[in-house]
Amino acid sequence: MTTTLLDETMLRDDTARLRAAAEFVREHDSASLLPLLLPGIDGPDLRALAGHCRFAHAGTLLFPPDEESLRAQLADCGLAVDTPPQPSVVVRERLARRHRREPAELDVRILRPQVSGAAGGERRAVEIFALTVPPHSDLERIAAHERTRGHEAHLAFEVDHPDPLVLRGLCAILARHGAHPDGGGYNPHEDGTVFYFTTPADEACGYRRLELYAHGDHRDALAAHLDDPGRYSRPSARPPAETLLHLLTGAWSTQALASFARLRLPEAMDTRTAHRAEDLARRTGTHPRGLATLLRCLAMLGAVSREEPPREGFRLTALGALLREDAPASMRPLALMYGGPFYRSFGALDHAVRTGRPAFDHLFGENHFDHFARDPELADLFDRSMAASSRMFEPLPAHPALTAAARASAPATVVDVAGGNGELLRQVLTAHPALRGVLLERPHAVATARRLLDAAGCGTRCDYRAGDFADVPSGGDVYVLARVLHDWDDDRCREILRHCARAMPDHADLLIVERLLPADGSPSLATAWDLHMLCNVGGRERRADHYARLLADAGLHLHGHTPLPLDAHVLHARKTPVPCPPRT
């Protein structure tokens, strides 16, 4: 076997690449770069990208033999030699996958020396991934391969004021103009999320990869980005048999996460300190070997991270921390529900598919709502599991219908129909102190909602009605149906919508929060939830045009819909105007 030796030519090549990247950053800006990367982009899409993103850096991967050599290269290119490095996570893992190495074997760091743009002196950077390659080490083969292929060379655009809606919209624009998802990740060391794409440009600017960088933890949006339907057809993807095995073991992942929550392991861990499995076993009353086996699986799922010596042990990740009971917007109730009653009913999914009737009813002898209503603990768990997805509501208070109601000269009222524990109404009333609220729910849920809204300081602006859909109160200004219609078949949905339409004044707005099935068959959480609704409640997810027909049958008109986090949408409807009779 021959070994590629590190020589002066290779060092000069690294320096030349670094110098070229620095010059590129100085000369370009967002407006000039985007058309080079995405040929044909113009109009609203170009303005949206350029308005939300700014050209931040050009990235390159270098292979210095030691820190002194890296400082010399920085100096040769006129870059600050004292730029502080950060550990890499995303690129280290990409290199490990490509070259079948353990990530811990690859000492990759990130440096971002600053560069001034030519126009106006705007501050940008060169992003340097530095993999230390000692002379004559087996890492020289990786360096030779990466220099030839340039996998990590990219241009990056930083997203100003990122939120889930903006990130999904920007990713959709890029995809529309030929950019393909190419990985990404969250780096906890710098609290930043990256979204990688390959671009369709034919070497128009010498870079074929694009990165969106968003400060903060945006792994919900990242999960949608990584769930690319074409990824298994690319050369680096898993073979079909391996892919199928990963899919078939999905139920094991559900139970691993549910057991993690049931055993209160997240409460026994934290995100800063690594704990040995033996110590955690003593703390949680579990078997050391059994717990170690579970923790290794959870590390593969990203709920914990496995720390190497000298800090050997397992550390809770931001994802795993969502399963702590005291976490903001805790998802522990979802884990207990999906790993409990709903897990059992999915075992009889073939009954639902064969008959069209819920497997839950077949298994438990009664429907989901009646079964939970007769068990206070289950009813409370269900209400808390619904509230655990409340992050989908976060952008809702900014909807034009609610902001217009909040600016009205007379106090306006928001009616939350089947509003659960009141979490959505809490967010709306907190955002708009001028609004009043009415919550319609079952008696036990009303009591829970009253406590939550009182604790949030909104209780004095809210009235409560215990009842059913036939009891929708009249005279409101904005009516809300959040995750209600998907529980029911079309006939029941029409009935619910007619109750709302009868209660609504002519000026009132109706906001419906649901997941929408994609019209083009693209991957969506709504598709999985459609199966969940069939199996457990006999309801269904629907396309936007399906909801438009149901609304029309109830005398309502769909004005449009906009996306929300967690693959949800808000549909905006109003009463269909009654045409004036022609003049005679």
Q: Mind listing the pLDDT tens digit for each residue in 371-382?
A: 888 888 888 888
DSSP strand E in 283-367: where? Answer: 304-307, 313-316
Predicted pLDDT at 4: 32
Task: Residue 463: give its domain's CATH number.
Answer: 3.40.50.150
Closest CA to 95 of 86, 104, 83: 104
pLDDT tens across 440-485, in order? Answer: 998 888 988 999 999 999 999 999 999 999 999 999 999 999 999 9
Which domain range does residue 373 map to? Answer: 341-387
Predicted pLDDT at 5: 34
Is 32 within a domain? yes
Closest CA to 522 of 472, 477, 567: 567
Whether 348 and 313 map to the same domain: the answer is no
Q: Which of the residue ranges 163-177, 274-288, 537-551 would you say has the lowest mean pLDDT?
A: 163-177
Is 232 within a domain? no
Is 522 within a domain? yes
Token readout for 168 is 């999904």
Whether 258 and 170 map to the same domain: the answer is no
pLDDT band at 334 (very low <50, low <70, confident <90, very high): very high
| pTM score above 0.75 | no
Report strand pairing: 413-417 vs 436-441: parallel
Whether 22 and 102 map to the same domain: the answer is yes
CA distances from 13 to 3, 9, 127, 148, 226 (A): 18, 6, 17, 11, 33
Predicted pLDDT at 233: 32
Domain end marker among 372, 387, 402: 387
pLDDT for 332 beyond 60: yes
Q: Which of the residue ranges 168-172, 400-404, 556-560 would you say has the lowest mean pLDDT?
A: 168-172
How far apart (Å, rounded) are the C-alpha atoms in residues 480 and 478? 7
Is 323 within a domain? yes
How far apart (Å, rounded) are the C-alpha atoms in residues 151 and 194? 15
How far apart (Å, rounded) are the C-alpha atoms in residues 413 and 401? 12
The answer to whether 538 and 481 have CB atoms below 8 angstroms apart is: no
The answer to whether 570 and 564 have CB atoms below 8 angstroms apart is: yes
Predicted pLDDT at 2: 33
Is 235 within a domain? no
Q: Which helix (H) or strand (E) holds 560?
A: strand 556-564
Closest CA to 185 of 234, 225, 230, 149: 225
How far apart (Å, rounded) are the C-alpha atoms in residues 83 and 23? 18
Token readout for 96 is 């490990």
Whether 77 and 187 map to the same domain: the answer is yes
Position with higher pLDDT, 520 vs 401? 401
Whether 157 and 299 map to the same domain: the answer is no
Q: Coil, strand or helix: which one is 438?
A: strand
The answer to whether 270 and 344 have CB atoms below 8 angstroms apart is: no
Q: Which amino acid is at 353?
A: V
Token readout for 14 is 């690294």
pLDDT for 394 beyond 90: no
pLDDT tens across 109-138, in order? Answer: 999 898 887 655 677 889 999 999 988 888
Position with higher pLDDT, 501 vs 90? 501
How far apart (Å, rounded) are the C-alpha atoms in residues 488 and 425? 22
How far apart (Å, rounded) are the C-alpha atoms in residues 188 and 302? 12
Residue 226 CB contacts under 8 Å (≥ 6 apart), including other chains: 181, 183, 184
> Mean pLDDT in the chain?
86
Q: Coil, strand or helix: which one is 462?
A: strand
Whether 479 and 524 map to the same domain: the answer is yes
Q: Which amino acid is at 309?
A: P
How far apart (Å, rounded) are the C-alpha atoms in residues 3 and 137? 9
Domain count, the chain: 4
Find the largest Cα–Cα distance for the chain: 97
Whether 188 and 60 map to the same domain: the answer is yes
* Residues with a known catalytic role: 486
Whether 211 and 261 map to the same domain: the answer is no
Q: Which of 101-105, 127-131, 393-397 has the highest mean pLDDT?
A: 127-131
Task: Residue 290: give its domain's CATH number.
Answer: 1.10.10.10
Whether 381 and 520 map to the same domain: the answer is no
CB atoms within 10 A of CB 345: 23
Predicted pLDDT at 573: 97
Is 98 within a domain? yes
Whether 414 and 550 map to the same domain: the answer is yes
Q: DSSP code of 208?
A: -
How far apart (Å, rounded) are the C-alpha atoms in residues 277 and 289? 8
- CA dihedral (249, 252, 256, 261) in degrees, to 10, reads 120
Task: Residue 201: give its domain's CATH number.
Answer: 3.10.180.10
pLDDT for 356 beyond 70: yes
- Give residue for tokens 């705007």: 122
Position with higher pLDDT, 276 vs 579? 276
Is 303 within a domain? yes
Predicted pLDDT at 200: 77
DSSP strand E in 47-190: where? Answer: 53-62, 86-87, 108-111, 114-116, 123-131, 154-159, 180-187
Residue 159 CB contacts under 8 Å (≥ 6 apart), including other chains: 52, 53, 166, 167, 170, 212, 213, 214
Predicted pLDDT at 358: 94
**Looking at residues 420-433, what average pLDDT do you find?**
93
The answer to whether 19 and 76 have CB atoms below 8 angstroms apart is: yes
Whether 442 and 355 map to the same domain: the answer is no
Q: Which helix (H) or strand (E) holds 165?
A: helix 164-176
φ, ψ of residue 570 to 5 degrees: the values are -110, 125
CB atoms within 10 A of CB 296: 13
How far apart (Å, rounded) are the C-alpha atoms in residues 181 and 234? 11
**Looking at residues 514-530, what average pLDDT do you find?**
85
How far apart (Å, rounded) are the C-alpha atoms in residues 151 and 182? 11
pLDDT for 145 beyond 80: yes
How far apart (Å, rounded) are the C-alpha atoms in residues 140 and 164? 40
pLDDT for 409 beyond 50: yes
Whether 467 and 319 map to the same domain: the answer is no
Q: Which of the residue ranges 245-249, 358-362, 388-392, 538-542 would you say has the lowest mean pLDDT?
A: 388-392
Is 423 within a domain? yes
pLDDT tens across 180-230, in order? Answer: 888 888 877 777 888 989 887 554 567 778 889 998 888 777 877 776 433
CA distances from 156 to 43, 56, 59 (A): 21, 6, 7
pLDDT for 236 beyond 50: no
> Angle CA(129)–CA(134)–CA(135) in degrees, nearest 5?
130
How far apart (Å, rounded) are the C-alpha atoms in residues 193 and 212? 8
